[in-house]
Homo-oligomer: A and B are copies of this chain.
Amino acid sequence: MIIVMKPGAPQSAVQSVASVIRDKGLETHLSQGEQVTIIGVVGDKTRLNSQQLQVMPYVDRIVPITESYKLTNRKFHPQPTRVKVGSHEIGPDTLTIMAGPCAVETEEQLMSIARAVKKAGAQIVRGGAYKPRTSPYSFQGLEEEGLRYMAEAKKETGLATICEVISEEAIEAAAKYVDMIQIGARNMQNFQLLREAGRSKMPVLLKRGLAATIDEWLNAAEYIIAEGNPNVVLCERGIRTYETATRNTLDLSAVPVIREKSHLPIIVDPSHATGVAAYVPALAKAGVACGADGLMIEVHNDPAHALSDGPQSLTFDQFGGLMSDLAPYIKLSERKLTL
């Protein structure tokens, strides 16, 4: 941490700041510039309250040098993390495909989709039983009944299963029925939910918040891991920008950035990012090409009658075609669908 003093800060002000730091048992290094004095801080910064320093007289600003996240930080954990979901492993050797409907609607619907995505090569079936919806008048999900259908789909197809959770009760229910839970974009900074997800010890797919920086996203993952649950997978799903041609702006740069900063796996969701089925294949290929550990793709037996997000869902044929098209890209990435 560096404290930058304002131009003209008197020696007494510099010394006051330095003593506060030294009182906490940390060292200071002063550097007297032509315009400004800066104070470097050496030692365990968690003992310091940077906001306290910020308001001291003549302090201009505080520049953090090290990241606030530790457990998710690649600097301290250079090896890539592998997360087991059912019998499948998400990590550097696999290319994980999670596919399925936005919302679980009926048992028949889910079964037919699960069979289709299994046949096309997916390893995990997704399906929403608890739907966070902008309007209270939109379909909110089947809740526990939907989870039961997910368990049925697993039993029949052998696919691993993932479901979004939006409350502590949903986590408890999901633990009984599915293999992995998802924290959605709108809950990425629902810290209560993050802690519960940590305590559940279940594998967690943590979607990036709509307006979350990569730093905040890794701090959100830190909440989960800090509860003793290292099984976190990140999911880039588009950020909010001024552009309206797509629902959100898929930030594929996040893939190499996360790879550099963290050891956690990262997958890409082009369906929610764009909101348009026609754009999904191009961005799915791009996701694999830029090094993602997997993809989440919406697939529906009948997009025209989907209760949620039909316009972004692929049909069975489109998904089958996409999986064929992806095969050579997966091969180039030196990954496999199954270990």
Contacts and interface: CB of A to CB of B under 8 A. Distances in A.
Interface string A174-207: 0000000000001101111100000000000000
Count of identical protomers in the assembly: 4
Nearest to A167: B192
Given A186-B189, A190-B186, A65 B4 contact: yes
A166 B137 contact: no
B29 A31 contact: yes
A191 B136 CA distance: 9
A51 interface: yes
A253 B242 contact: no
A120 to B, nearest CB: 19
Nearest to A195: B136
B34 A304 contact: no
> Chain A interface residue count: which class?
35 or more
Interface in A2-52: 2, 4, 7, 29-36, 38, 40-44, 46, 49, 51-52
Interface of A: 2, 4, 7, 29-36, 38, 40-44, 46, 49, 51-52, 54-56, 63, 65-66, 68-69, 75, 132-137, 166-168, 186-187, 189-193, 209-211, 213-216, 219, 222-223, 226, 239-246, 249-257, 259-261, 273-274, 277-279, 282-283, 285-291, 303-311, 313, 328-329, 332
